[in-house]
Each structure stands twice: as structure tokens, then as C-alpha cells.
């Protein structure tokens, strides 16, 4: 005998009563709205250290892009250098004054969104492509929707340590959700 319709005796899941449809529909709409609003935050912030020879760094960045420097036969560069990139990869802060850098890193009320882009063609994507240790994380860094802090220091530089230590702390604009990159230049 063939049974038509849905019945409990046939081993079929019970049907959802019509009164349950609005609740299910509302939950689905709420889930889609929340996902579109907040996005997928499954990727963790990137924290990397890499080494690069000084000449290679200057060949890439260019002497004229360093803060406070002017093109010419002799250029003095002060270390450490702090660079902050917006979530879209634009350079929004570049400084070589350790006291200004530490003030930025330690001020709890610093709003990075208020920093104006630096007049520089340097983009986070370009920098990541030049550093072998950063390259495998290129997609994660560019799609993370996070601010990225880059500390450029010299190898065995005692005066560079306070900036690197401040970047390790979760204070001010540096929080658990920011990317932190450390580039150590080897002479």
C-alpha cells in the first residue's frame, strides 16, 4: 500500500507549521545582515619580523621618500622609522622621531582614521611584495581590514628597542586587532 502525504509513522521529519516561517525567515535575514555588516573576521592579525639589507631597502623605498630627507649626495636617516598603513594600504603616518612615534603609539585616544594620507606612492602591498618573509601573508594583510604598523630599525640598535617594545604592547592605537610588522635592516 502506498501512503501519500507526510505522516509521523512513515519516518519523515515533521513539517514546520506555517506559523514558524516568519521566525525562520527573520533569523535568516538577521544573519545575512550581521554578516554583511561585520564581515568575516576569521583571520588573525599578522605579526612578523623580517631582515633586509640596508641597500635593498633604500633601493625600494627611495631616499627621497624618507621623512625629513632631501635628495642629495649625503643623506642622514634616523632610526627607528615608524610607518602606519590604513586598511586600504595607504601610508597614513611616517616618522623617524622616536619621541613622536612613541607618543603616537602610547596615546590611548589616538584615532588613526583621522590621520591624513602621506604624500607617497608607497603602499603596503608594494612593501609586502619586496620582503620575502612578508610575501606569503600578502593576501591576509591586504584583505584584513586592519591598520598595519611597520617598525623599521637597524640590527642591534639599542635606541630602536623602545619603539619595538611599544608595538608589542596593546595600548593606544595598537590593539590586538592591528597587524604588526618589524623590518630589521642589516648593514
DSSP per residue, 91-106: EEEEE--HHHHHHHHH
176 band by pLDDT with thresholds 50, 70 and 90: confident
Same domain for 51 and 34, yes or no, is no
Q: Which residues have a Cβ under 8 Å from the Cβ of 153 and sit 6 or more positions away?
A: 79, 80, 81, 160, 163, 164, 182, 183, 184, 185
d(CA 45, CA 144): 8
Q: Is 165 inside a domain boundary?
A: yes
Residue-level pLDDT at 65? 54
Q: Which residue has the cell 619595538?
A: 164
What does each C-alpha distance from 118 to 14, 115, 123 come to in angstroms? 62, 9, 10
When pLDDT is averaged across residues 77-98 and rounded to a whole number, the result is 92
67 contacts 96 by C-beta, under 8 angstroms = yes
Residues 180 and 125 in one domain: yes
Number of other residues whose CB lies within 10 A of the CB of residue 17: 7
Mark whether 31 and 66 lie in a shared domain: no
139 and 81 assigned to the same domain: yes
Judged against a pLDDT cut of 90, whether residue 12 lies above it is answered with: no
**Cβ count near 144 (within 10 Å):** 19
Per-residue pLDDT tens digits for 18-44: 555 555 555 555 555 444 444 444 468
Residue 11: the pLDDT is 55
Give mean pLDDT, residues 118-123. 87
* CA within 13 Å, CB half, 183: 26
Total of domains in the chain = 2
> Over 80: is that where the pLDDT of 72 sits?
no
Mark whether 31 and 89 lie in a shared domain: no
pLDDT of 185 strictly over 90? yes
Global model pTM greater than 0.75: no
Residues 6+ apart with CB under 8 A from 142: 89, 124, 125, 128
Whether residue 160 sits in one domain with residue 96: yes
- 72 plus 154 within the same structural domain: yes
Structural domain harbouring 30:
8-38
DSSP state string for 12-36 = PPPPPPGGGHHHHHHHHHHHHHHHH
> Is residue 150 in some structural domain?
yes
Amino acid at each position: 500500500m502506498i501512503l501519500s502525504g507526510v505522516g509521523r509513522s512513515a519516518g519523515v521529519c515533521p513539517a514546520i507549521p506555517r506559523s514558524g516561517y516568519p521566525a525562520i525567515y527573520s533569523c535568516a535575514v538577521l544573519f545575512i545582515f550581521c554578516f554583511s555588516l561585520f564581515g568575516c573576521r576569521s583571520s588573525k592579525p599578522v605579526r612578523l619580523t623580517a631582515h633586509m639589507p640596508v641597500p635593498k631597502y633604500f633601493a625600494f623605498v627611495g631616499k627621497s621618500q624618507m621623512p625629513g630627507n632631501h635628495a642629495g649626495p649625503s643623506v642622514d636617516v634616523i632610526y627607528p622609522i615608524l610607518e602606519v598603513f590604513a586598511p586600504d594600504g595607504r601610508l597614513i603616518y611616517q616618522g623617524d622621531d622616536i619621541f613622536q612615534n612613541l607618543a603616537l603609539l602610547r596615546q590611548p585616544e589616538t584615532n588613526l582614521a583621522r590621520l591624513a594620507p602621506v604624500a607617497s606612492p608607497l603602499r603596503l602591498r608594494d612593501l609586502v611584495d619586496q620582503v620575502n618573509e612578508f610575501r606569503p601573508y600578502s593576501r591576509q594583510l591586504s584583505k584584513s581590514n586592519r591598520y598595519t604598523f611597520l617598525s623599521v630599525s637597524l640590527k642591534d640598535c639599542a635606541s630602536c628597542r623602545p619603539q619595538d617594545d611599544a608595538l608589542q604592547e596593546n595600548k593606544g592605537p595598537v590593539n590586538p586587532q592591528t597587524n604588526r610588522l618589524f623590518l630589521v635592516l642589516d648593514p
